[in-house]
Amino acid sequence: MKTIHFINKKSIVLLLATVFFLSCSSDDSSSTGTNSISSVTSVVGSGTWKITYYFDTDKEETSNFSGYNFTFGSNGVLTATNGTLTQTGTWSVTDSNSNDDDSISDLDFNIAFASPATFLELTDDWEIIERTSTVIKLKDVSGGNGGTDYLTFTKN
Protein backbone atom coordinates (compact mmCIF):
# COMPACT_ATOMS: atom_id res chain seq x y z
CA MET A 1 0.00 0.00 0.00
CA LYS A 2 2.77 2.46 0.83
CA THR A 3 4.36 1.95 -2.59
CA ILE A 4 1.11 2.83 -4.37
CA HIS A 5 0.67 5.88 -2.14
CA PHE A 6 4.24 7.00 -2.96
CA ILE A 7 3.71 6.52 -6.68
CA ASN A 8 0.51 8.54 -6.59
CA LYS A 9 2.26 11.47 -4.86
CA LYS A 10 5.13 11.28 -7.31
CA SER A 11 2.72 11.11 -10.25
CA ILE A 12 0.77 14.09 -8.98
CA VAL A 13 3.93 16.17 -8.55
CA LEU A 14 5.11 15.19 -12.04
CA LEU A 15 1.70 15.98 -13.52
CA LEU A 16 1.59 19.39 -11.82
CA ALA A 17 5.10 20.22 -13.00
CA THR A 18 4.18 19.24 -16.55
CA VAL A 19 1.02 21.36 -16.50
CA PHE A 20 2.99 24.31 -15.12
CA PHE A 21 5.64 24.15 -17.84
CA LEU A 22 3.11 23.65 -20.60
CA SER A 23 1.05 26.61 -19.39
CA CYS A 24 4.01 28.94 -19.82
CA SER A 25 3.77 30.43 -23.28
CA SER A 26 6.16 32.31 -25.44
CA ASP A 27 3.59 34.64 -26.93
CA ASP A 28 5.33 37.78 -28.09
CA SER A 29 3.52 40.93 -27.02
CA SER A 30 4.80 42.58 -30.18
CA SER A 31 2.66 40.35 -32.36
CA THR A 32 -0.27 38.94 -30.39
CA GLY A 33 -2.77 39.93 -27.73
CA THR A 34 -4.96 42.95 -27.11
CA ASN A 35 -2.00 45.06 -26.05
CA SER A 36 0.30 44.16 -28.90
CA ILE A 37 2.23 46.56 -31.07
CA SER A 38 -0.06 45.78 -34.00
CA SER A 39 -3.24 46.39 -31.99
CA VAL A 40 -1.97 49.75 -30.69
CA THR A 41 -0.76 50.90 -34.12
CA SER A 42 -4.04 49.80 -35.67
CA VAL A 43 -6.04 51.91 -33.21
CA VAL A 44 -3.96 55.09 -33.45
CA GLY A 45 -3.41 54.71 -37.19
CA SER A 46 -7.12 55.17 -37.77
CA GLY A 47 -8.56 58.68 -37.90
CA THR A 48 -7.25 61.86 -36.33
CA TRP A 49 -6.44 62.57 -32.71
CA LYS A 50 -6.10 65.60 -30.48
CA ILE A 51 -4.12 66.20 -27.32
CA THR A 52 -6.64 66.51 -24.51
CA TYR A 53 -4.10 66.57 -21.70
CA TYR A 54 -0.40 67.41 -21.51
CA PHE A 55 1.31 67.85 -18.16
CA ASP A 56 5.00 68.76 -18.33
CA THR A 57 6.72 67.97 -15.01
CA ASP A 58 5.17 70.76 -12.94
CA LYS A 59 2.42 72.39 -15.00
CA GLU A 60 -0.31 71.65 -17.47
CA GLU A 61 0.48 72.75 -21.04
CA THR A 62 -2.47 71.26 -22.96
CA SER A 63 -3.32 74.63 -24.51
CA ASN A 64 0.00 74.59 -26.45
CA PHE A 65 -1.61 72.01 -28.77
CA SER A 66 -5.12 73.45 -28.95
CA GLY A 67 -6.62 73.19 -32.43
CA TYR A 68 -4.08 70.63 -33.68
CA ASN A 69 -5.20 67.31 -35.15
CA PHE A 70 -2.64 64.52 -35.14
CA THR A 71 -2.45 61.81 -37.78
CA PHE A 72 -0.35 58.71 -37.07
CA GLY A 73 0.56 57.54 -40.58
CA SER A 74 1.20 53.88 -41.36
CA ASN A 75 4.66 54.83 -42.62
CA GLY A 76 5.74 56.20 -39.22
CA VAL A 77 5.08 59.83 -40.13
CA LEU A 78 3.30 61.87 -37.46
CA THR A 79 1.52 64.95 -38.76
CA ALA A 80 0.03 67.70 -36.60
CA THR A 81 -2.02 70.35 -38.34
CA ASN A 82 -4.26 73.16 -37.16
CA GLY A 83 -5.51 74.19 -40.61
CA THR A 84 -2.79 76.80 -41.06
CA LEU A 85 0.41 75.23 -39.72
CA THR A 86 1.61 71.68 -40.18
CA GLN A 87 4.30 70.05 -38.03
CA THR A 88 5.81 66.75 -39.11
CA GLY A 89 7.54 64.19 -36.93
CA THR A 90 7.81 60.46 -36.51
CA TRP A 91 6.13 57.88 -34.32
CA SER A 92 6.39 54.18 -33.53
CA VAL A 93 5.37 51.62 -30.95
CA THR A 94 8.06 49.31 -29.63
CA ASP A 95 8.32 46.54 -27.07
CA SER A 96 10.38 47.85 -24.16
CA ASN A 97 10.41 44.68 -22.11
CA SER A 98 11.05 41.04 -22.87
CA ASN A 99 8.79 39.66 -20.11
CA ASP A 100 6.31 38.52 -22.76
CA ASP A 101 3.46 39.15 -20.34
CA ASP A 102 1.37 41.11 -22.88
CA SER A 103 1.26 44.12 -20.57
CA ILE A 104 0.39 47.50 -22.04
CA SER A 105 3.14 49.04 -19.86
CA ASP A 106 5.74 47.00 -21.75
CA LEU A 107 5.07 49.03 -24.87
CA ASP A 108 6.73 52.36 -25.64
CA PHE A 109 4.96 54.96 -27.74
CA ASN A 110 7.81 56.84 -29.41
CA ILE A 111 7.28 60.38 -30.67
CA ALA A 112 9.89 62.63 -32.28
CA PHE A 113 9.63 66.18 -33.59
CA ALA A 114 12.65 68.25 -34.66
CA SER A 115 10.89 71.60 -34.18
CA PRO A 116 9.29 73.89 -33.04
CA ALA A 117 10.16 73.94 -29.33
CA THR A 118 6.56 73.28 -28.26
CA PHE A 119 6.40 70.06 -30.28
CA LEU A 120 9.96 69.14 -29.35
CA GLU A 121 8.65 68.69 -25.79
CA LEU A 122 6.61 65.71 -27.05
CA THR A 123 9.75 63.94 -28.26
CA ASP A 124 10.25 60.92 -26.02
CA ASP A 125 9.65 57.22 -25.57
CA TRP A 126 6.39 57.32 -23.66
CA GLU A 127 5.04 54.47 -21.55
CA ILE A 128 1.50 53.50 -22.52
CA ILE A 129 -0.51 53.48 -19.30
CA GLU A 130 -3.98 53.11 -20.80
CA ARG A 131 -5.47 52.48 -24.23
CA THR A 132 -8.98 52.20 -25.58
CA SER A 133 -10.29 52.62 -29.11
CA THR A 134 -10.68 56.37 -28.49
CA VAL A 135 -8.06 57.31 -25.85
CA ILE A 136 -4.38 56.63 -25.35
CA LYS A 137 -2.74 57.80 -22.12
CA LEU A 138 1.03 58.09 -21.94
CA LYS A 139 3.54 58.74 -19.17
CA ASP A 140 7.23 59.60 -19.11
CA VAL A 141 9.56 59.84 -16.14
CA SER A 142 12.41 62.13 -17.09
CA GLY A 143 15.90 60.76 -16.67
CA GLY A 144 17.39 64.22 -16.13
CA ASN A 145 15.29 65.86 -13.46
CA GLY A 146 13.08 62.94 -12.41
CA GLY A 147 9.90 64.84 -13.28
CA THR A 148 6.87 63.01 -14.66
CA ASP A 149 5.08 64.06 -17.84
CA TYR A 150 1.61 62.90 -18.93
CA LEU A 151 0.17 63.01 -22.43
CA THR A 152 -3.34 62.00 -23.51
CA PHE A 153 -4.54 61.66 -27.09
CA THR A 154 -8.28 61.43 -27.72
CA LYS A 155 -9.73 60.39 -31.05
CA ASN A 156 -11.73 63.07 -32.91
Tell me the pLDDT band of 76, cut-offs 50, 70 and 90.
very high
- Structural domains in the chain? 28-155 (2.40.128.280)
What local confidence, expressed as pLDDT, does residue 140 receive? 92
Tell me the pLDDT band of 44, cut-offs 50, 70 and 90.
very high
Residue 89 in this model has a pLDDT that exceeds 80: yes
Mean pLDDT in residue range 25-29 = 36
Q: Calculate the average pLDDT of the chain.
A: 79
What local confidence, expressed as pLDDT, does residue 147 receive? 87
What local confidence, expressed as pLDDT, does residue 118 receive? 94
Residue 67 in this model has a pLDDT that exceeds 80: yes
What local confidence, expressed as pLDDT, does residue 81 receive? 97
At 96-109, the pLDDT tens digits run 654 444 455 578 99
- For the question of whether the overall pTM of this predicted structure is more than 0.75, the answer is no
SS (H, E, C) the chain: CHHHHHHHHHHHHHHHHHHHHHHCCCCCCCCCCCCCHHHHHHHHCCCCEEEEEEEECCEECHHHHCCCEEEECCCCEEEEECCCCEEEEEEEEEECCCCCCCCHHHEEEEEEECCCHHHHCCCEEEEEEEECCCEEEEEEECCCCCCEEEEEEEEC
